[in-house]
Amino acid sequence: MSASIEIANVTKRYGTLTVLDDISLSISPSEFVVFLGPSGCGKSTLLRMIAGLEDVTEGMISVGGQRVDTLPPGKRGVAMVFQSYALYPHMTVHENMSFGLENIGVAKKEIEKRIRLAAETLEIAHLLDRKPQKLSGGQRQRAAIGRAIVKEPKAFLFDEPLSNLDAALRGRTRLELAQLHARLGSTMIFVTHDQVEAMTLADRIVVMHNRKIEQIGTPMEIYHHPATRFVAGFVGSPA
């Protein structure tokens, strides 16, 4: 399942502070889009507005052609995976995965089927009875992705999901995310400040800076034809 995502003239203000200024962006079904930019440029805020965790101050957001910016998070057809995983510590992996589905009335049998499938895909079937504190960082990461997969979203939203992992695991997980995208065919938005992650994962990169989009393009376009001095400096030179 996948859906287009349309962001139309979206502005976000906290009081008098404007953190995103008139952002417009069209994402195609099944596209893997990376929001890339330095810390504080508004990547998480934009993602959280798509997820419904933040209100839009001005503008519109649509998923699959349906306007969602006034809908509650659970009704938008998107699922978010957080940097800190945000697993419920007192619940097992299985309970973490089933909890959200029970809440929206998915039948028990269907829940079990989805969990089995997701656990197989992520190779965490043997971890379902464990609580998060008994998992490694990489295993927590998988559990968090599993919790998103069982919602069968049309789009996955990842907020710096690799930044708590060590370098070796980060590389492996990056590869697995690319495989997951190929297998599920879902639309994916991935937020990072890491140029290498962006270059290796993205169909298209959205470079953000100072409340604005600086450039949208394929990794090759961004790398070889930076539209601004900022993009050239940020993508061209190592962090």
CA-closest candidate to residue 97, choices 87, 83, 85, 109: 87
Cβ neighbour number for residue 126 with a 10 Å cutoff: 10
Site for ligand ADP in 140-169 (CB under 6 A): none
With CB under 6 A as the contact rule, which of the stretches 35-43, 66-74, 106-114, 147-155 interacts with ligand ADP?
35-43
Place of tokens 């470079």: 207
- Closest approach, Cβ 56 to ligand ADP, in A, equals 14
Measured from the CB atom, the residue of 62 and 83 that comes closer to ligand ADP is 83
Measured from the CB atom, the residue of 44 and 98 that comes closer to Mg ion is 44
Pick from 1, 8, 18, 19 the residue near ligand ADP by CB under 6 A: 19
The entry of Mg ion, ligand ADP, none that residue 45 binds, CB within 5 to 8 Å by partner kind: ligand ADP
Give the whole-angstrom CA distance, residue 216 versus residue 235.
13
Place of tokens 């309970």: 95
Q: Is 98 in the site for ligand ADP (CB under 6 A)?
A: no
| Contact positions vs Mg ion (CB under 5 A) | 44
Beta bridge partners of 80: 157
- Closest approach, Cβ 210 to ligand ADP, in A, equals 10
Q: Phi first, then psi: give them for residue 91, nearest 5 degrees.
A: -110, 150
Measured from the CB atom, the residue of 34 and 119 that comes closer to ligand ADP is 34
CB-CB contact of 135 with 165 (8 Å): no
DSSP state of 184: H
Pick from 44, 96, 192, 215 the residue near ligand ADP by CB under 6 A: 44
Beta bridge partners of 181: none
